[in-house]
Amino acid sequence: MSNVQSCYQCGKCTSICPMRRVSKTSPRSSIYNANVYGLETNDIWTCLTCGLCPIECPQQVDFLSFIREERAGKEPLSIAHLGVFTEMAELSSKLDGNIPDNSAKSTDSKFGFFPGCVDSLDLFLHDVKTNFGEITTSSLRLLDKLGIKPQVMNMKCCGHDVLWQGKKDVFDRLKNYNKEYIKKSGIDTLVTSCAECYRTFSKDYDLGIKVVHTSQLYDTLGMKINKEVTYHDPCRLGRHMGVYDAPRKALTANGVVVKEMEHSKQNALCCGVSNFMNCNEQTKALRIARMNEAEATGAKTLITTCSKCLAHFNCLKTEKDATKKYDIDIVDLSVFLARQLEAGK
């Protein structure tokens, strides 16, 4: 349960809200209308759930829990990409699916690697000119270099998006299947390269095993890369999970120079896309602001660890009617490191 009763309407959340830059969204008003009048406002849907406002809250109000509670069981105002990813998650949650028994496994590794939804992204987001499947092959190549040969977990979607869209029934079905799959696999460590999967498995599943993001393993690769990059902190890996140093160490420990943007780590600007709900002209303005910050560092490569950030920054870069052209490569962390590993052979 959220603790919004502690809110005393100081307005600091509204002053720091990214959406407030481009709209009349107000976290403070959302709480006030819900608490005092019992009203639902559109703000509960325009909220990016980026986790920036709780940082400034003097009362430590759990605004993210409030948003999830307010959205539960209601229909979102808008879902991006015609809602195809939500429809796929709902359909997948209703299909039984056979969980393989231990005898059918190709390896008894105690590590499991979950690729996330890269196949779906490749299928429907081909216009952004990004090979999402390369995230999986790159991650497995780097894990192999580290001596980790994981079971590849052929699970269903982790349910991140539907949970934050208010569809907890769909999420629960996906979670129940995946938890049983993980239990039967016998692993004690689940590794994922997706910031949203990492957040979901860590905080919303109660797995009883270790959950690791790939960025937390790469600092021992022993590579010598002479490049300058800048790094974008995804909301789910950064403010939601507090993982700021690991991705940077994964780069710097392998010889990469990280040039920080004006807003970084805890104060990083959001890419503007949340749970495939907010992909419009307002959030495009947030992406432009972030890309301008990346450009200002002088680095020619922008690294991130979230497939949604990767998709939508590349979408901004490659759109046909772009008002500005960005001369910067936008690459997933695992892909960047694996390409350098391949080039160094």
Residue where a domain stops, chosen among 34, 50, 71: 71
Checking if the pLDDT of 84 tops 60, the result is yes
108 and 49 share a domain? no
The answer as to whether 343 is a domain residue is no
Query: Can you give the CATH number for the domain in which 298 is found?
Result: 3.40.50
Structure tokens at 191: 């590794």
70 vs 39 pLDDT, higher one: 70
289 and 233 share a domain? yes
202 and 90 share a domain? yes
Residue where a domain stops, chosen among 71, 94, 117: 71
The answer as to whether 341 is a domain residue is no
Checking if the pLDDT of 59 tops 50, the result is yes
Contacts of 88 (CB under 8 A, 6+ apart): 120, 157
268 and 205 share a domain? no
Listing DSSP states for 82-118 in one string gives GGHHHHHHHHHHHS--PPPPGGG-S---SEEEE--SH
The answer as to whether 159 is a domain residue is yes
Tell me the average pLDDT across 51-73: 92
Relative orientation angle of helices 245-252 and 333-343, to the nearest 10 degrees:
10
211 and 86 share a domain? yes
Q: pLDDT of 87-97, one tens digit each? A: 999 999 998 77
Checking if the pLDDT of 122 tops 70, the result is yes
Buried b / exposed e along 279-318 (16+ C-beta atoms within 10 A): beebbbebbbbbbebbbebebebbbbbbbbbbbbbbbbbe
The answer as to whether 76 is a domain residue is no
The rounded distance, in Å, linking the Cα atoms of 190 and 50 is 24
Checking if the pLDDT of 345 tops 60, the result is no
Asked whether 250 and 139 are in contact (CB, 8 A), the reply is no
Q: pLDDT of 327-336, one tens digit each? A: 999 999 999 9
16 and 117 share a domain? no
22 and 143 share a domain? no
173 and 235 share a domain? no
Q: pLDDT of 157-199, one tens digit each? A: 999 999 999 999 999 999 999 999 999 999 999 999 999 999 9
The answer as to whether 144 is a domain residue is yes
Residue where a domain stops, chosen among 71, 99, 126: 71
Checking if the pLDDT of 105 tops 70, the result is no
208 and 232 share a domain? no
The answer as to whether 342 is a domain residue is no
**pTM, entire model:** 0.94
118 and 243 share a domain? no
Q: pLDDT of 201-244, one tens digit each? A: 999 999 999 999 999 999 999 999 999 999 999 999 999 999 99
**Domain count of the chain?**
3
- For 243, the domain range is 218-336
The answer as to whether 345 is a domain residue is no
The rounded distance, in Å, linking the Cα atoms of 184 and 202 is 19
The answer as to whether 16 is a domain residue is yes
